[in-house]
Structure 1
Amino acid sequence: MEPLPTPLVDADWLARYHRAVRLLDCRVGPDAEARFAAGHLPGAVWADLERDLSAPGEFAVGGRHPLPSLEDWCATLGRWGVGPETLVVAYDDRGGMLAAARAWWMVRAVGHDAVAVLDGGLQAAFAAGLAPTAEPPTLEPRLPYPASAWRLPTVNAGDVEAHRTDPAHRLIDVRAAERFAGEVEPIDPIAGHIPGAINLPCAAQLQPDGRFRPAAALRAELEQALGDVPPSRAILQCGSGVTACHTLLGMAHAGLDGAALYVGSWSEWCRSDRPREPDAS
């Protein structure tokens, strides 16, 4: 068996080896569970963004999708049969944005390196000959995944406040340009962005077929956005810490790993009395 390519795996590899991996179906939406039940890749478990990949909480403290506790997340991985030797592939139907990249980041964040996102998502899998099934997966639950700490960098609102205008750091907002500009806001109560942030929409990382653009092209754009700031001093944010993981995935694909995730993102920031642009006062 060929090693699992990371951070992206192509559909042809998955078609050959899908029986040897734990597949996570990370589609989102009010009917996501029903769509999963109607048809998913063989052996996949449904990773619910609201239940599994985040925890309930107060939006003003942690945003709309705060991370679950480490204990709960490790228990979830064990329930899915994921252990230190398990190969994990996450997919969705939105090019990894909602919410395969979030699952990828969370699996990596407990120190599990053998995890990838299916490049091109469900559509690419079907094109490669993988047929959907309505059969529920066969799971062999295990003990909670053995992790003692989150191992990828995150920041809170105070950290963002401290660094948002510091030229030695770079705050990158990956939402669509019109949301960043404050022209529309379909989810949160206030439109706009964090002062000092630059806008680099995550959707621009994808080709029309939903696969990621070549690593060299992404790297050139990311390096231009970073300037002389190394990835380790970059902070990625979005609306609620979900699509920011898509840009973190793109950065890893481009060889620019190491940026921090602001989990609360705009959904937390806009509910505080911190400055924002446009200034609505």
Structure 2
Amino acid sequence: MSPSTPLVSVRWLEEHLRDPELRLVDCRFSLSDPLAGRAAYLSGHLPGAVYLDLEADLSGPVRPDRKGGRHPLPEPAALAQTLAQAGIGDETFVVAYDEPPAGGMFAPRLWWLLRWLGHDKVAVLDGGITAWNEAGGALETPVPTPPKARFTPRPRPEWVVDAEAVAHRPAGTVLLDSRAPARYRGEIEPIDPVAGHIPGALNRDWLEAYQPSGRFKSPAEQQARFAGLEGEVIAYCGSGVSASVNVLALELAGRPAKLYAGSWSDWVSGSRPVATGDQP
């Protein structure tokens, strides 16, 4: 049942929608209106889909000192419990969807989290709910109550780095800032208290992973986005969410990457150096 890429098409989903081992997860969310995603889900979602909330389900508690960033990784045991309650077990194939391109960072977050926990049976619906609607797919409003499953977390701690690892990264490591160019340059900072980027980081805007339609660019186009980047890649963004889009895009390009989960919001929670402008 598992496809060979991190993405599944609407056609693939239509063919497998009734498979008993499939679990659809609606990940829609808005950073500016945290209730909007659940409201959209209740207004209409793909058949059988459950809803997981970025802040309530797919992030851990924010620390008072902000160390760990605005969307810390959840504890593996807590996330495993959340997944089990959503009917996701060790044999479940998960398809996550959101509403790309602008709303396209949340399904990749779940894709990354599941793989971080050792669960590789997961993919993102290419084009999200928009592609489903364009294909004439049905939506429904009832909220399913799947039976609780057994999810066994098998974390891969080597996939994650913290601020100390970033600060002392080996020479030749590629540090990839996934935020918009204006935020990278430090011209604007709408969320965090300090503007700029981590010294030495290169900028690859996560939105550039998508076509205007909300589908991911092809593997060849992703390879072109990351051309010339040699060495181990560490991706970061504002809080570790949109960087997962670039991690998925790098996967399409055949390049594994680590995630600085706390990202910029963690970096600026301490007295660490900051760069501005176009240059790393």
TM over 0.5: yes
Q: 1:71 to 1:3 in 2, by over 3 A?
A: closer
Matched-pair contact (CA < 8 Å) for 1:179–1:192: yes
Moved more, 153-162 or 22-31: 22-31
Matched-pair contact (CA < 8 Å) for 1:42–1:137: no
Map 1:136-155 onto structure 2 (within 5 A): 136-143=143-150, 145-150=151-156, 153-155=159-161
Moved more, 151-160 or 242-251: 151-160
**Aligned counterpart for 2:224 among listed residues 195, 210, 220:** 220
Show the counterpart of 1:102: 109
SS at match of 1:89: strand
**Matching residue's letter, 2:245:** H
TM-score by length of 1: 0.91
TM-score by length of 2: 0.91
Q: 1:11 to 1:5 in 2, by over 3 A?
A: farther
**Matching residue's letter, 1:182:** G
Distance in 2, matches of 1:55 and 1:61, equals 12
Matched-pair contact (CA < 8 Å) for 1:194–1:276: yes
Distance in 2, matches of 1:177 and 1:206, equals 16
Show the counterpart of 1:191: 195
Q: 1:161 to 1:108 in 2, by over 3 A?
A: same
- Which portions of structure 1, spanning 4 or more consecutive aligned residues, are displaced by more than 6 angstroms? none
Show the counterpart of 1:161: 167
Matched-pair contact (CA < 8 Å) for 1:6–1:114: no
Q: Percent identity?
A: 44
Deviation at 1:5, TM superposition (A): 4.5
Matched-pair contact (CA < 8 Å) for 2:24–2:50: yes
**Matching residue's letter, 2:223:** R
Deviation at 1:203, TM superposition (A): 0.6
Map 1:247-258 onto structure 2 (within 5 A): 247-257=246-256
Map 1:17-32 onto structure 2 (within 5 A): 17-20=16-19, 21-29=22-30, 30=33, 31-32=36-37
Gaps of 5+ in 1: none
How many equivalent residue pairs?
A: 269
Deviation at 1:12, TM superposition (A): 1.1
Gaps of 5+ in 2: none
Distance in 1, matches of 2:193 and 2:104, equals 22
Question: How well do the aligned residues superpose, as a CA RMSD in angstroms?
Answer: 1.6
Show the counterpart of 2:118: 111
Matched-pair contact (CA < 8 Å) for 2:118–2:154: no
Distance in 1, matches of 2:112 and 2:154, equals 16
Show the counterpart of 2:39: 34
Distance in 2, matches of 1:209 and 1:7, equals 18
SS at match of 1:19: coil
Distance in 1, matches of 2:83 and 2:2, equals 21
Give deviations 1:245-265, integer Å, cap 9, x for gaps.
0000111112112x1100110
